[in-house]
Structure 1
Amino acid sequence: MKLAISHQTEYRYDPPLRNIVQSLRLTPSVFEGQKLQDWKIEVSGGLRGPGFRDGAGDWISGWTVRGPAEQIVVSVTGRVDTRDTAGVLRGHREMIHPLAYLRDTKATRPAEALRELAGSVGAGTDRLDLAHRLSAAVSDRIAYRPGVTEAATTAAEALEQGEGVCQDHAHVLIALARLHELPARYVSGYLHSTSDGTAHDAAHAWAEIHVEGLGWVGFDAANACCPDERYVRLGSGLDAPDAAPIRGIALGQGAERLSVAVQVEDVEALQRQSQSQTQS
Structure 2
Amino acid sequence: MTTTGDAAPPVGRQRYRLSQSFRYDYDGPVLSLLHRLVVVPPRRHGDQHLRLGALQVADHSAQVEWTGDEHGNRVGLVRLAVVPESVQMHVSVVVERHGEAAPLEVGLLGDPRLLGPSLKTGPDDAIRRLARDLVGREDDALAAADRVCAAVKELVRYEKGATTVATTAAQALAGGAGVCQDQTHVMLSVLRVAGIPCRYVSGHLVGQGGTHAWVEVLVPHASGARAVAFDPTHARRAHDGYVTVAVGRDYVDVPPTSGWYSGDARGTLSGRRELVREDLPGVETPAAAAGTGPDLRRSA
TM range (shorter): 0.7 to 0.9
Aligned to 2:72: 57
Residue of 126, 129, 134 corresponding to 2:148: 134
Q: CA deviation at 1:26?
A: 1.6
Letter in 2 for 1:226: R
Aligned to 1:200: 208
Q: What are the superposed Cα offsets for residues 232-273 of structure 1, whole Å, 9 maximum, x if unpaired? A: 11111211121112232211121121123211123459xxxx
Residue of 222, 232, 235 corresponding to 2:246: 235
Query: Partner of 2:252: helix, strand, or coil?
Result: coil
Q: What are the superposed Cα offsets for residues 152-208 of structure 1, whole Å, 9 maximum, x if unpaired? A: 12111211222221111110011001101122221111110xxxxxx2111111112
Aligned to 1:274: none
Quote the Cα distance in structure 1 between the aligned partners of 2:257 and 2:106: 20
Quote the Cα distance in structure 1 between the aligned partners of 2:244 and 2:99: 12
Residue of 101, 104, 109 corresponding to 2:122: 109
Q: What are the superposed Cα offsets for residues 109-131 of structure 1, whole Å, 9 maximum, x if unpaired? A: 11222112111103224222222
Residue of 147, 156, 162 corresponding to 2:161: 147
CA contact (8 A) 1:33 1:229 kept: no
Aligned to 2:7: none
Range with greater deviation from structure 2 (29-38 or 6-15): 29-38
Aligned to 2:269: 258
> Higher RCO, 1 or 2 (CA under 8 Å, sep at least 6)?
2
Q: CA deviation at 1:77?
A: 1.5
Aligned to 2:286: none
CA contact (8 A) 1:52 1:61 kept: yes
CA contact (8 A) 2:153 2:183 kept: yes
Aligned pairs for 1:154-165 within 5 A: 154-165=168-179
Letter in 2 for 1:131: A
Q: CA deviation at 1:221?
A: 0.6
Q: CA deviation at 1:17?
A: 0.7
Q: Flag structure 2 segments of 5+ consecutive residues without an equivalent.
A: 1-13, 281-300
Quote the Cα distance in structure 2 between the aligned partners of 1:76 and 1:176: 35
CA contact (8 A) 1:36 1:81 kept: yes
**Is 2:85 the counterpart of 1:70?**
yes
Quote the Cα distance in structure 1 between the aligned partners of 2:266 and 2:128: 39
Range with greater deviation from structure 2 (49-58 or 134-143): 49-58
Describe the shift of the 1:84–1:16 C-alpha distance in structure 2 as closer, same or farther (beyond 3 A): farther
Quote the Cα distance in structure 1 between the aligned partners of 2:240 and 2:175: 31
Describe the shift of the 1:64–1:164 C-alpha distance in structure 2 as closer, same or farther (beyond 3 A): same
Q: What are the superposed Cα offsets for residues 123-148 of structure 1, whole Å, 9 maximum, x if unpaired? A: 22422222222222212222222232
Letter in 1 for 2:135: G
Aligned to 1:181: 195
Letter in 2 for 1:90: A
Letter in 1 for 2:172: A
**Is 2:216 the counterpart of 1:211?**
no
Quote the Cα distance in structure 2 between the aligned partners of 1:157 and 1:263: 32
Q: CA deviation at 1:82?
A: 2.6
Letter in 2 for 1:241: V
Quote the Cα distance in structure 2 between the aligned partners of 1:175 and 1:259: 31
Quote the Cα distance in structure 1 between the aligned partners of 2:228 and 2:271: 28
Query: Partner of 2:236: helix, strand, or coil?
Result: coil
Quote the Cα distance in structure 2 between the aligned partners of 1:175 and 1:84: 32
CA contact (8 A) 2:135 2:194 kept: no
Moved over 6 A (4+): 93-97
Q: What are the superposed Cα offsets for residues 8-40 of structure 1, whole Å, 9 maximum, x if unpaired? A: 122111212112112322211313421223221
Alpha-carbon RMSD: 2.4
What TM-score does the superposition give when structure 2 sets the normalisation length? 0.78
Quote the Cα distance in structure 1 between the aligned partners of 2:52 and 2:32: 30
**How many residue pairs end up in the alignment?**
260
